[in-house]
Amino acid sequence: MNKNTKNMFVWFILGLVVVVTIYQIINRGDQVYEMPTSDFHSYISEKYIKDNGNPFEGYLILDDEWVEGKFREEFVAINKQEQSVENPIFPQNWNGNFKTSRDTSEDYGLQEKLNTQGIIFNIKPGSNFPDWLLVIGTTVVPLLIFLGLMIFLSRQMQGSGNRALSFGKSKARLHTETDKPVTFDDVAGVDEAKDALEEVIQFLKAPSKFERLGGTIPKGVLLVGPPGTGKTMLAKAVAGEADVPFFSISGSDFVEMFVGVGASRVRDLFETGKKNAPCIIFIDELDAVGRHRGAGIGGGHDEREQTLNALLVQMQGFEDSETVIMIAATNRPDVLDPALLRPGRFDRQIIVDLPDVRGRKAILDVHTKEPYKLAEDVNLEIMAKATPGFSGADLKNMANEAALLAAREDKEHIDMECFDEAKDRVLMGPERRSLVISDEERRVTAYHEAGHALISHFVPESDPNYKCTIVPRGRALGVTALLPDEERHNPNRKKLIADIIVFLGGRVAEETIFGEQTTGAQNDFERATRLARHMVTQWGMSPLGPLTYGRRDEQIFLGKELAVHQDYSEQTAIAIDKAVHDIVMECYENAKEIIETNLDGLKHLADALLERETLITEEIEEILGPRPQLPTNPLT
Ligand code: ADP
Ligand code: ZN
């Protein structure tokens, strides 16, 4: 039996059970006392038969074969009470219905008798439904309807594109030759990941070579990293380089509301994989299905656990000879069920981190190739420097946005201005020139941004200014952007202090000029405090000494702390708070000093901002003079 007919059979049996049950429920009604006609006659004489009350409808019905009716309630009550338990005359659940056969040719004047007794009855000549018709009506007809429905559904299932009854099918998509194959050249700035995946490609190309040498064959590779860093692309590129089919499905596709669907999808996916070996199966968002079992709140996650179990079982069941490679991607490796990471499953982890400067430059190169037309002035190195924290997807987005802006402004080429604007858009959303800002507010913002720019200009350890603007964008009224030097992986205390001073420069400038405090510096404070706290608790840069305070579950590449556990006393907590406060206040005094000694410069900067709205590095240096240089370190 093939799968479809088997399915049909099961549905058929189910339908039958339903129909029979319904039939039984309908017929479970009160039981009827069937008696000889002679008894009926005497009951009439004794006035025990209930009057119909209405000649057109009711309980006393005479038809060609039967008489059906009711006894009077008093009769029923007495007889039910008095009948012997061992030898009951009337049915158990009786509530007074009776039935007796009627011979119309010889019914001893029944109708007259009823008439003389004044009992109204209802005659239904020949209306008696034969029993077998009733049976057909309640069983066969619904069955036929059911069958028809099933045939309809199975037609739908066979027809392409119809999804009735196909919940269990995996949604894996096959990427065939018609898609332009992705190669490693398309994925930039992730050289380490590529190296690690090279082996997988070799294996897919010539599995026999590996087996002969007895090498361990990778079965599952887990790509770990933030969204948009090219994990999907990498998996596709492996398939493209090895020239094998690529199946992809997202972990969230497994988690549906129907119980058992996820598990059957997993089995389906693996079947597809085995049929098409050698191939790659890619599961995006593995964490959606692979979360630690038993971690669900309220325990309502049986479905997901079943799916996860199916996945584990299927991966275990892979024969070594089957050249199917599983690649999965996640940005939450910390929540994965440990069983997923055991040998034979996703035992290889490859980190795909956010790109560094060089990576960003390489990605930009990829995404500004022909047919993009770049202007002479475009310096992608500067753009790469100015986009720390951008993912590959962000950079692609930025390049696209730059091209769109160039097109909108009817430019021949995409110039640096377009890139710059595109960067800010991706980072903070489009400019909000329409935002109504009072002159007063604009002035405050100008001094605030000028404060940042002035300090980063005069503190040699700070990153150089890149741009300073008072055009509102996203939620910010103005922005001062620096050009961080990422070659420095290990910032020293001076650099960190410089950063904090720059953060505080905005508020200090506002205060100094207007003698007022505004809410606009909240984000500055947040970042300053965060840095100071890290200096105290993580980097041993305070009187509390070279210790770390607080164990943190941190994913380095995620750049965010998941939780901090306090592993120190309350006294230490107080000391930490004080140390953090001291650092920030010291920086605050520093900022104040720099601003006060350069008040003229501040005013010039703010005026220029009010006039021109945006200042770039050269313009800032023109106003403030050349930037003081760091004394060169004699040791380097
Ligand atoms: P992930 O799977 O990690 O979320 P994707 O592979 O879906 O990221 O990346 C989304 C898009 O961003 C890709 O289609 C690609 O155009 C671009 N991209 C991301 N990372 C890179 C990279 N390293 N090199 C080139 N393009 C990239
Ligand atoms: Zn600020």
pLDDT 10s digits, 52-76: 666 666 677 877 778 888 888 777 7
**pLDDT tens column, 234-252:** 999 999 888 888 888 888 7
CA of 190 to the centre of ligand 1 (A): 11
* CATH superfamily, with its number, for domain 168-351: P-loop containing nucleotide triphosphate hydrolases (3.40.50.300)
Which residue has its alpha carbon closest to ligand 1 atom 11?
393
Stated pTM of the model:
0.62
Residue range 255-259: average pLDDT? 63
Please report the pLDDT score of residue 351 as a whole number: 86
Taking 80 as the threshold, does the pLDDT of residue 600 lie above it? yes
346 vs 593 pLDDT, higher one? 593
Ligand nearest to the CA of 444: 2
**pLDDT tens column, 417-467:** 899 889 888 887 777 777 777 888 889 999 999 999 999 999 988 988 888
Secondary structure (DSSP) of 124-136: ETT-PPPHHHHHI
Check if 363 has its Cβ closer than 6 Å to any atom of ligand 1: yes
**pLDDT tens column, 72-99:** 877 777 777 777 777 777 777 777 888 8
Check if 329 has its Cβ closer than 6 Å to any atom of ligand 1: yes
Please report the pLDDT score of residue 459 as a whole number: 92
Least confident piece of the model among 196-200, 411-415, 418-422, 555-559 = 555-559
Mean pLDDT of the chain: 81
CA of 518 to the centre of ligand 2 (A): 11
Ion ligand 2 — residues with CB < 5 Å: 506, 524
CA of 609 to the centre of ligand 2 (A): 15
Taking 70 as the threshold, does the pLDDT of residue 128 lie above it? no
Q: Which atom of ligand 1 is nearest to the CA of 223?
A: 3
Helix, strand, coil content of the chain in percent (nearest 5): 50, 15, 35
Residue type, 575: A
**pLDDT tens column, 528-579:** 999 999 999 989 999 999 998 887 655 444 445 556 677 888 999 999 999 9
Q: Which atom of ligand 1 is nearest to the CA of 362?
A: 24
Ligand nearest to the CA of 286: 1
* CATH superfamily, with its number, for domain 439-624: Peptidase M41 (1.20.58.760)
CA of 384 to the centre of ligand 1 (A): 16
Ligand nearest to the CA of 504: 2
Cα 406 to Cα 395: distance, rounded to the nearest angstrom = 17
Check if 194 has its Cβ closer than 6 Å to any atom of ligand 1: no
Ligand nearest to the CA of 354: 1
Q: Which of 286, 396, 400, 426 to mutate to test the pocket of ligand 1 (most atoms within 8 A of CB)?
A: 396
CATH number of 357-428: 1.10.8.60
Check if 226 has its Cβ closer than 6 Å to any atom of ligand 1: no
Check if 188 has its Cβ closer than 6 Å to any atom of ligand 1: yes
133 vs 158 pLDDT, higher one? 133
Q: Which atom of ligand 1 is nearest to the CA of 227?
A: 4
* Phi, psi angles (nearest 5°) of residue 96: 105, 0
Q: Can you read off the two tokens belonging to residue 92?
A: 């158990």
Which residues are the active-site residues?
449
Cα 599 to Cα 61: distance, rounded to the nearest angstrom = 111
Which residue has its alpha carbon closest to ligand 1 atom 25?
187
**pLDDT tens column, 478-532:** 888 887 776 666 788 999 999 999 999 999 999 999 998 888 888 899 999 999 9
Least confident piece of the model among 34-48, 76-90, 433-447, 601-615 = 76-90
Cα 279 to Cα 245: distance, rounded to the nearest angstrom = 5
Please report the pLDDT score of residue 631 as a whole number: 65
Q: What are the residue ranges spanned by the domains of the chain?
A: 31-126, 168-351, 357-428, 439-624
Secondary structure (DSSP) of 453-516: HHHHHH-TTSPPEEEEE-S-BTTBS-EEEE---TT--S--HHHHHHHHHHHHHHHHHHHHHHS-
Check if 229 has its Cβ closer than 6 Å to any atom of ligand 1: yes
Give the model's confidence band at 157: pLDDT under 50 very low, under 70 low, under 90 confident, else very high: low
CA of 502 to the centre of ligand 2 (A): 9
Please report the pLDDT score of residue 589 as a whole number: 95
Q: Which of 182, 192, 194, 229 to mutate to test the pocket of ligand 1 (most atoms within 8 A of CB)?
A: 229
Taking 70 as the threshold, does the pLDDT of residue 258 lie above it? no
Residue type, 508: V
Which residue has its alpha carbon closest to ligand 1 atom 18?
392
